[in-house]
């Protein structure tokens, strides 16, 4: 294009000055410095001699380098994780279109950058799938360029599903409200590499709190804060395992996510010596309930020794059942044994341990409530108190049992809050 401009200027000189002007132009293009400088005779006497100064741009244009070719690069490869975005980039040009299409012809969603120099997929792919990637663009001169590649995703040897549950094994309700002692459990339906799996687990809170993971075994991880939650805290739990290898050849089947909030501060203290349960809401005593707790001692069951105390420790509310069906056989004591009992329906039952300790209605022990411990371990209440507690408690509320005999509440029974913080942290796979 620059050479065309020089040619046009030469024709203008010919029109204005004829052959003499053409001779001047030709002499200006030689290496003879006597005729090309500003002080040469031509520049002093020829009013058109200044035109000769344009010879430098013509020389520069003739030596300019060609434009760099456009180059398209992609992240496409075989055996990709389906959770890894496919990316496309162009150098020395602009992308005009990108498509990533599966075997059924469906286009995968993606996003082009504002400057049209890069693109990435915005939805996860499938396991064991093949996709055709086509990228089109133009170089800086407008010449088209195209690149087409194949993308294949990995095939897991096996997959595992994570479940976000409470200590009772019930799914955590998205948008639900829980007590200040809420503990979240992630249960994998296959044994995992704990360190790999923990890297895929995320908990965020507003406001921020200090918390950590505790692995009970290779399938179950628990998360709790160092201290009880503050009321109003927002909690978000994510198991981002899809496309992630969480064991040898074992990949996450699906991501899982849940968010919930912490409700009012509810703490109850059950005193085995005074035979009363004192209930505090936001540190204010709101109800005192006479109770009859575990009678103490032991009995031999089908699976070994059974303790008849209400184990001392820090429990949390695990669930509500109205009615709950209870029997001594459920914890290994045959119904026909001296202390056994057949299945029966028990109303207004609030469960606080995984092995079956409840606060529940039992009118047949009202005579002992507030005076004597006669139960197998549950906290017996009269109808009004059992119903009130059932209706006003929430999963995650704290229940402390004090001045009781027998061994301390164990982790497997729901005693997560009795684990010292340093010991809790030591059970993280990333500690």
- What pLDDT does residue 27 have? 37
pLDDT below 50 — which residues of the chain?
1-62
In the three-class reduction of DSSP (H, G, I as helix; E, B as strand; rest coil), residue 357 is classed as coil
CA-to-CA distance for 223 and 203, rounded, in angstroms? 8
Q: pTM for this one?
A: 0.80
- What pLDDT does residue 337 have? 86
Catalytic member of 360, 371, 392, 427: 360
Q: Are 305 and 334 in contact (CB under 8 A)?
A: no
- What pLDDT does residue 35 have? 37
Read off the pLDDT of residues 174-222 as tens digits, 9 standing for 90 and up: 999 999 999 999 999 999 999 999 999 999 999 999 999 999 999 999 9
- What pLDDT does residue 244 have? 97
Catalytic (active site) residue 376: no
- What pLDDT does residue 95 have? 98
Q: What angle do CA 53, 57, 59 make, to 5 degrees?
A: 105
- What pLDDT does residue 24 have? 32
CATH classification (class only), 158-263 = mainly beta
What CATH fold (topology level) applies to the domain 266-418?
L,D-transpeptidase catalytic domain-like (2.40.440)
What burial class does residue 376 get, using C-beta atoms within 10 Å of its C-beta: 0-12 exposed, 13-18 middle, 19+ buried? Answer: buried
- What pLDDT does residue 431 have? 87
Query: What residue spans in the chain does CATH classification 2.60.40.3710 cover?
Result: 158-263
Catalytic (active site) residue 266: no
CA-to-CA distance for 300 and 334, rounded, in angstroms? 10
- 71-152 domain in CATH 3.40.50.2020? no
Catalytic member of 266, 275, 376, 378: 378
Read off the pLDDT of residues 120-143 as tens digits, 9 standing for 90 and up: 999 999 999 999 999 999 999 999
Query: What residue spans in the chain does CATH classification 2.60.40.3780 cover?
Result: 71-152
Q: Which two tokens stand for residue 282?
A: 């936001």
Q: Which two tokens stand for residue 149?
A: 């590649």
- What pLDDT does residue 37 have? 39
């Amino acid at each position: 294009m620059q050479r065309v401009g020089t040619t046009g200027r030469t024709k203008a000189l010919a029109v204005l000055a004829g052959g003499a002007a053409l001779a001047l132009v030709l002499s200006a293009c030689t290496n003879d410095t006597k005729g090309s400088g500003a002080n040469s005779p031509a520049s002093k006497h020829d009013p058109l001699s200044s035109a000769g100064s344009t010879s430098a741009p013509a020389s520069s244009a003739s030596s300019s380098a060609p434009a760099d070719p456009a180059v398209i690069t992609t992240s496409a490869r075989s055996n990709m994780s389906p959770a890894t975005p496919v990316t496309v980039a162009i150098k020395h040009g602009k992308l005009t279109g990108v498509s990533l299409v599966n075997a059924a012809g469906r286009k995968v969603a993606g996003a082009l950058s504002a400057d049209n120099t890069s693109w990435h997929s915005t939805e996860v792919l499938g396991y064991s799938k093949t996709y055709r990637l086509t990228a089109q663009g133009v170089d800086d001169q407008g010449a088209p360029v195209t690149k087409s590649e194949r993308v294949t995703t990995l095939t897991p040897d096996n997959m595992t599903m994570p479940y976000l549950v409470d200590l009772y094994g019930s799914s955590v309700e998205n948008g639900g409200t829980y007590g200040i002692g809420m503990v979240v459990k992630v249960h994998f339906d296959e044994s995992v590499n704990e360190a790999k799996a923990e890297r895929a687990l995320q908990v965020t809170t507003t406001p921020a709190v200090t918390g950590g993971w505790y692995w009970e075994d290779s399938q179950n991880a628990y998360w709790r804060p160092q201290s009880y939650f503050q009321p109003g805290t927002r909690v978000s739990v994510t198991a981002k395992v899809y496309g992630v290898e969480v064991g040898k050849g074992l990949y996450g089947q699906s991501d899982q996510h849940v968010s919930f909030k912490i409700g009012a501060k509810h703490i109850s203290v059950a005193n085995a010596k005074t035979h009363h349960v004192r209930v505090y809401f936001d540190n204010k005593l709101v109800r005192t309930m006479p109770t009859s707790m575990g009678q103490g001692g032991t009995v031999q069951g089908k699976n070994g020794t059974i303790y008849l105390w209400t184990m001392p420790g820090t429990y949390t509310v695990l669930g509500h059942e109205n009615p709950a069906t209870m029997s001594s056989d459920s914890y290994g004591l045959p119904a026909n044994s001296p202390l056994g009992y057949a299945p029966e329906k028990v109303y207004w039952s609030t469960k606080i341990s995984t092995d079956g300790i409840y606060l529940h209605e039992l009118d047949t022990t009202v005579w002992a409530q507030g005076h004597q411990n006669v139960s197998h371990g549950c906290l017996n209440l009269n109808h009004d108190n059992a119903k009130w507690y059932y209706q006003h408690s929430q999963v995650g509320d704290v229940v402390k049992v004090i001045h009781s005999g027998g061994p301390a509440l164990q982790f497997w029974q729901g005693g997560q809050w009795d684990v010292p913080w340093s010991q809790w942290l030591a059970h993280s796979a990333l500690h």
